[in-house]
Amino acid sequence: MEHCIGWDMTKQEQVKAIFIEEAGEIIEKLDIDILRFEEDSSDFDLLNGIFRGVHTLKGNANAFGFTRLGEFVHHFEDVLDHYRSSKEDVEEHLLGLFVDSVDIIKEVMNCELDAVAELPEGYADCLHSIKSLIASKKNAPILPPIEEATETFSDLASEFAFESVSGTEEAVEKSIQFHRALQEEGLNLYRIELTLDVDCYKRGFDHILFLNLLGEKAKSLESFFGMEEVSALETFSSDVNGIKKVHVVVLTPQTKEEVAENFEYLFDNEYHISLIDPVVAQSVIEKAEVIEEIKKPKAEERRGAERVTTGSTIRIDTFKLDELFDSVGELVIAQNFIAQNDQIRAIEDESISRAIETLSKITKRIQDRVMSLRMVAIRDTFDKMKRVVRDTSKKTGKELHLNVQGEETEIDKTMIDSLSDPLIHIIRNAIDHGLEADANERLAAGKKVEGNITLRAYHKSGSIVISVSDDGRGINKEKVLQKAIERGVITGDENLTDSQIFGLIMQPGFSTADTISDLSGRGVGLDVVKTSIEKLRGKIEIDSAEGVGTTLSMVLPLTLAIIDGMLVQTAGEIYIIPTLSVVESFRPEREIVHVIKGQGEFVSMRGQHIPVIRLSDVFNLSTQRIEPWEGILVCVETEAGRIAIMVDELVGRQQVVIKPLGKSLAKLKEISGGAILGSGDIALILNVDELRPLIEGTHGTA
């Protein structure tokens, strides 16, 4: 983990910053784990994981004076600990409480960070539920988990009650002898002495946490707390007092260095680890008579499992990655230049052409690898969405089942961050407005009461599609049209395709509507979603069938840096049209081109009248005027419907690296960037959505 903390911070501030970062990570993980646990409450390992997280949080929260967080977490930990140690199944009705608790933890953490005085809503209720749960459990006759406890640790509670204070040294000796008897090949016996400073808690140290960590790997562990220096309860203050002397005897396969890792929060003089030589042990054992048969712990199995570590990774500054990416982009351009250079081609030497071919293969491979560096699986984002689904389901009172597909699909890292919000919005919409509110309505339609929401990610012809489907009522086209006319979004004379009609619900005019709920759903702020997806150079497709359901798909480019472009030429300049928006390109028959007086040119295609935009006119390029049937029309889908861009000719199709044009040209709406072609020339990339200055209002009575 890297921490970039200035030296001007005090040590405590540094540690606090670390704590806050860690707490954030822990809480994020808790959030995901608790939902998984809700799905499968028999997963004991998961419960253990949650417990560990909560435990760490508790110790740290108290150390930094986050008492409200500390208190809550403390009680929650008790609950978890109960189920963990009793191996009792968590009652189903309690799972909700668990999830709520994690919510509260999240909120309290925010309150603590912002130093807000009031407690989050539900804090008291939730805490009360937890406390009463513990109380009821404590009274219930539970079989004490004695066997489990003695396997790994001696019961910690009894350690606190250790009476013979002066006899600590003796007890430790005894323990060492006892453990020697248990020592096997591959296990090391350590004696650890801690002499703690008063402020050790503030540095994030926690007795119990550390013993747990040690105990996880250990075969056997015994600890002796020096209680003599701890004052009586009445005068006890956690700031000053603490258990300062701790002796630990541990039998573990870990090396001394590994054991020492547990003490990262301590100063070097505060701990002392000594390896006890097994040879000496022999003689001691003879004297010692206390040899008990101890069951082989399960720890060994667990150790085996933990040894399968995940592949090693390094964190890289994304800026460095971007630089690498830029350089590779240049490499590709340079390689293209060589491959397409006429003079080099003219050499016609086999070895040269072979070398060029090898070069292009390697370049392609490097490009692919570098691209893949930026890609991460969408799983984490989907995991977060599970939470959204659950919450929305609770809020709306709709029962539903979430299906997740394609979690492995990889997507550009820079895109992931911008995807969460739109996705949350779409999911909420799907549940709130997409699914029928009335269970009877579902039953009448022959569907199960439980609704289905499907979250899916997949590749489709060079793009990544992330879709959210519901099996609700679907979109009522008539109502949408009616609403759109009412709101003045359309005039009603347009001949719109289904997808264009569905597209209307994403128009800004729709979102401000106050009577959204009498529409067949949707429309709340979808224009915002649309805008943010378009920023990522993606688009939204809506597919819906009344009574069957709706699918909202976000079609995104594989990466933000490269697009698949169609190269067109007009007036001697080359422009790039993103292939994503191209519907078709053709040379029109003379008969289908119409000129409407004062309204420009249209081309009639399958009953649609598509406006023709002459690129040379829009861009004021000096060129010989040609007629549409002498040029090429590239039909593209835009926000405002289809348009046909008229160009002189098509040049080709290729993947291009998008480069910004610089701040001073950023205001140019019609151009979204530039790309460097194999020849070294620059071609500008068209933003087709802005190529419609005269279309609106020119529809009229077409």
Give catalytic residue positions.
55, 77, 429
Shortest approach of other proteins to residue 667 CB, angstroms?
A: 7
Element (H, E) at 38: helix 11-39
Shortest approach of other proteins to residue 674 CB, angstroms?
A: 5
Our CB check for other proteins shows the closer of 96 and 660 to be 660
Q: Report CA-CA distances (Å) from 657 to 486, 538, 662.
A: 43, 16, 15
* Amino acid symbol at 288: A
8-state DSSP, 648: S
543, two tokens:
């597919």
Among 329, 451, 472, 549, binds other proteins (CB under 8 A): 329
| Burial call 583-618: b when 16+ CB within 10 Å, e when fewer | eebeebeeebbeeeeebbbbbebeebbbbbbbbbeb
Point out which span in 87-95, 218-226, 303-311, 658-666 binds other proteins (CB under 8 A): 658-666
What gap in Å lies between CA 690 and CA 482, rounded to an integer? 27
Shortest approach of other proteins to residue 273 CB, angstroms?
A: 51
8-state DSSP, 433: I
Our CB check for other proteins shows the closer of 445 and 621 to be 621
Shortest approach of other proteins to residue 387 CB, angstroms?
A: 39
648 binds other proteins (CB under 8 A): no
Our CB check for other proteins shows the closer of 446 and 662 to be 662
Bridge partners for 457 per DSSP: 466
Point out which span in 251-259, 378-386, 401-409, 672-680 binds other proteins (CB under 8 A): 672-680
Count, residues in the chain: 702
Tokens 């290729």 sit on residue: 654
Strand bridging mode 463-470 / 539-545 = unpaired
* Amino acid symbol at 361: K
Point out which span in 249-257, 260-268, 410-418, 679-687 binds other proteins (CB under 8 A): 679-687
155 binds other proteins (CB under 8 A): no
What gap in Å lies between CA 98 and CA 401, rounded to an integer? 20
Among 458, 665, 694, 700, binds other proteins (CB under 8 A): 665
Point out which span in 124-132, 149-157, 456-464, 677-685 binds other proteins (CB under 8 A): 677-685
- Which residue, among 576, 571, 588, has the nearest Cα to 651 in the 3D structure? 576
158 binds other proteins (CB under 8 A): no
469, two tokens:
């489907």
Shortest approach of other proteins to residue 327 CB, angstroms?
A: 8
Tokens 């108290």 sit on residue: 62
- Answer for the pair 572, 503: CB distance below 8 angstroms, yes or no: no
8-state DSSP, 255: -
683 binds other proteins (CB under 8 A): yes
Among 670, 678, 695, 699, binds other proteins (CB under 8 A): 670
Q: 525 Cβ partners below 8 Å, 6+ apart? A: 425, 511
565 binds other proteins (CB under 8 A): no
Shortest approach of other proteins to residue 365 CB, angstroms?
A: 20
- Answer for the pair 586, 632: CB distance below 8 angstroms, yes or no: yes
CA 649 from chain centre, in angstroms, equals 44
668 binds other proteins (CB under 8 A): yes
Shortest approach of other proteins to residue 332 CB, angstroms?
A: 10
311 binds other proteins (CB under 8 A): no
Point out which span in 54-62, 591-599, 628-636, 670-678 binds other proteins (CB under 8 A): 670-678
Among 120, 521, 538, 674, binds other proteins (CB under 8 A): 674
506 binds other proteins (CB under 8 A): no
Among 78, 659, 678, 698, binds other proteins (CB under 8 A): 659
Shortest approach of other proteins to residue 619 CB, angstroms?
A: 3
Residues 331-360 that bind other proteins (CB under 8 A): 333
Residues 612-631 that bind other proteins (CB under 8 A): 618-622
Shortest approach of other proteins to residue 557 CB, angstroms?
A: 19
Among 307, 667, 696, 701, binds other proteins (CB under 8 A): 667
661 binds other proteins (CB under 8 A): yes
Q: Is the dihedral of CA 19, 24, 27, 28 positive or negative?
A: negative
| Long-range CB contacts (within 8 A, 24+) of 149-154 | 149/85, 150/294, 151/294, 151/295, 151/297, 151/298, 151/299, 152/215, 152/218, 152/219, 152/220, 152/221, 152/297, 152/299, 153/211, 153/215, 153/221, 153/222, 153/223, 154/221, 154/222, 154/223
Our CB check for other proteins shows the closer of 104 and 671 to be 671
Shortest approach of other proteins to residue 323 CB, angstroms?
A: 11
258 binds other proteins (CB under 8 A): no
Q: In what order do the strands lie in the sheet with 451-460?
A: 400-405, 451-460, 463-470, 549-557, 539-545
693 binds other proteins (CB under 8 A): no
Within a 13 Å sphere around the CA of 586, how many CA atoms are in the beta-carbon half?
Answer: 12
Q: Is the dihedral of CA 436, 441, 446, 449 positive or negative?
A: positive
Our CB check for other proteins shows the closer of 461 and 622 to be 622
Our CB check for other proteins shows the closer of 556 and 684 to be 684
Our CB check for other proteins shows the closer of 16 and 614 to be 614
How many residues lie near other proteins (CB under 8 A)?
28
Point out which span in 266-274, 323-331, 385-393, 459-467 binds other proteins (CB under 8 A): 323-331
682 binds other proteins (CB under 8 A): yes
560 binds other proteins (CB under 8 A): no
Shortest approach of other proteins to residue 588 CB, angstroms?
A: 24
What gap in Å lies between CA 148 and CA 155, rounded to an integer? 10
167 binds other proteins (CB under 8 A): no
| Residues of the shown chain interacting with other proteins in the complex, contacts defined by CB under 8 A | 326, 329-330, 333, 573, 618-622, 659-665, 667-668, 670-671, 674, 676, 680-684
